[in-house]
Amino acid sequence: MDAQGRGREEGIDPADQWVLNPDTGDYELRLAPSAGRPNAPAGTSGRTPGPRRRQDPGTAPSDDRASVPSQRGGRRGAGGGRGDRDETRRPGSRAAAPASGRRKAKPKKSRKKKVLVWTGGVLAFLLVGAGTATYLVYQHFNSNITAVSTDGAGTGGFSKDRAINVLVIGTDKRTGEGNEGYGDKGSVGHADTNILFHVSKDRTNATALSIPRDLITDIPDCPTTMEDGSQKDIPGSSGGRFNTSLGQSDRTPSCTMRTVTELTGIKVDHFMVADFNAVKSMTTAVGGVDVCLAKDIDDKNSHLKLSEGEHTIQGEQALAFLRTRHSVGFGSDLSRIEIQQQFLGSLMRKLKSNDTLTSPTKMWSLAEAATKALTVDDKIDDINQLRKLGMELASVDPKNITFTTVPVLDNPNDNATVILDQSKAPQVFSMMREDVSFTAVAKQEKAKEKAAEAAKLKGEMADPADVRVDVYNGGAPAGSAQSALDWLQNEQGVLKSTNKANAPADVKKTQLVYAPNQADQARRLADMMGLTASALKPTTTDAGEMDPMVLTLGPDFTKAGSPLSAPTKAPADIQRVEADKAVCAK
What is the pLDDT, as a whole number, of residue 82? 39
Rounded to the nearest 10°, the torsion over CA 109, 110, 115, 119 is: -120
Distance of CA 260 to the CA centre of its chain: 14
Nearest to 200 by CA among 153, 156, 161: 161
For residue 86, what pLDDT band results from cuts at 50, 70 and 90?
very low
Q: How buried is 121 (Cβ within 10 angstroms: 0-12 exposed, 13-18 middle, 19+ buried)?
A: buried
How is 114-148 classified by DSSP, letter by letter?
A: P---EEE--TTT--EEE---SHHHHHHHHHH-EEE
Angle 152-395-146 (CA atoms, 0-180°, nearest 5)?
40
What mean pLDDT, rounded, does the chain reach? 77
| d(C-alpha 330, C-alpha 150), whole Å | 36
CA distances from 99 to 12, 40, 73, 86 (A): 21, 15, 21, 14
Q: How buried is 501 (Cβ within 10 angstroms: 0-12 exposed, 13-18 middle, 19+ buried)?
A: exposed
Kind and range of the H or E run holding 551: strand 549-553
What is the pLDDT, as a whole number, of residue 56? 43
| d(C-alpha 279, C-alpha 273), whole Å | 11
Per-residue pLDDT of 122-168, as tens digits, reads: 333 333 333 333 467 778 888 899 999 999 999 999 999 999 999 99
Q: Average of pLDDT values for 331-349?
A: 88
* Domain-wise residue ranges, the chain: 1-114, 128-436, 455-553
Q: How buried is 342 (Cβ within 10 angstroms: 0-12 exposed, 13-18 middle, 19+ buried)?
A: buried
pLDDT above 80 for 43: no
Do 465 and 493 meet the contact criterion of CB atoms below 8 Å apart?
yes
Q: Write the CB contacts of 425 (distance below 8 Å, at least 6 apart in sequence).
A: 406, 407, 408
Q: Average of pLDDT values for 44-69?
A: 40
Indicate the DSSP class of residue 245: G
Q: Average of pLDDT values for 252-261?
A: 96
CA distances from 453 to 139, 199, 449, 520, 521 (A): 48, 22, 6, 16, 17
Do 491 and 471 meet the contact criterion of CB atoms below 8 Å apart?
no
Q: Write the CB contacts of 388 (distance below 8 Å, at least 6 apart in sequence).
A: 120
What is the pLDDT, as a whole number, of residue 29? 52
Q: Write the CB contacts of 478 (distance below 8 Å, at least 6 apart in sequence).
A: none
What is the pLDDT, as a whole number, of residue 185? 58
| d(C-alpha 121, C-alpha 260), whole Å | 21
For residue 323, what pLDDT band results from cuts at 50, 70 and 90?
confident
pLDDT above 50 for 84: no
CATH fold of 128-436, please? Aminopeptidase (3.40.630)
What is the pLDDT, as a whole number, of residue 581? 75
| d(C-alpha 533, C-alpha 523), whole Å | 9
pLDDT above 90 for 479: yes
What is the pLDDT, as a whole number, of residue 582? 74
For residue 500, what pLDDT band results from cuts at 50, 70 and 90?
very high
CATH code assigned to 455-553: 3.30.70
Per-residue pLDDT of 435-474, as tens digits, reads: 888 886 544 445 555 555 566 677 899 999 999 999 999 9
Do 404 and 134 meet the contact criterion of CB atoms below 8 Å apart?
no
Do 341 and 210 meet the contact criterion of CB atoms below 8 Å apart?
yes
Q: Average of pLDDT values for 272-296?
A: 90
For residue 78, what pLDDT band results from cuts at 50, 70 and 90?
very low
pLDDT above 60 for 99: no
| d(C-alpha 276, C-alpha 36), whole Å | 55
Q: How buried is 285 (Cβ within 10 angstroms: 0-12 exposed, 13-18 middle, 19+ buried)?
A: buried
What is the pLDDT, as a whole number, of residue 508? 85
| d(C-alpha 297, C-alpha 585), whole Å | 10
Q: Write the CB contacts of 99 (distance below 8 Å, at least 6 apart in sequence).
A: none
| d(C-alpha 140, C-alpha 428), whole Å | 41
Q: How buried is 390 (Cβ within 10 angstroms: 0-12 exposed, 13-18 middle, 19+ buried)?
A: buried
The CA-to-CA distance between both ends of the chain, in Å, stands at 51
Say if strands 27-29 and 118-120 run parallel, antiparallel, or are unpaired: unpaired
Which three-class secondary structure string do you get for 292-320? EECCCEEECCCCEEECCEEEEECHHHHHH
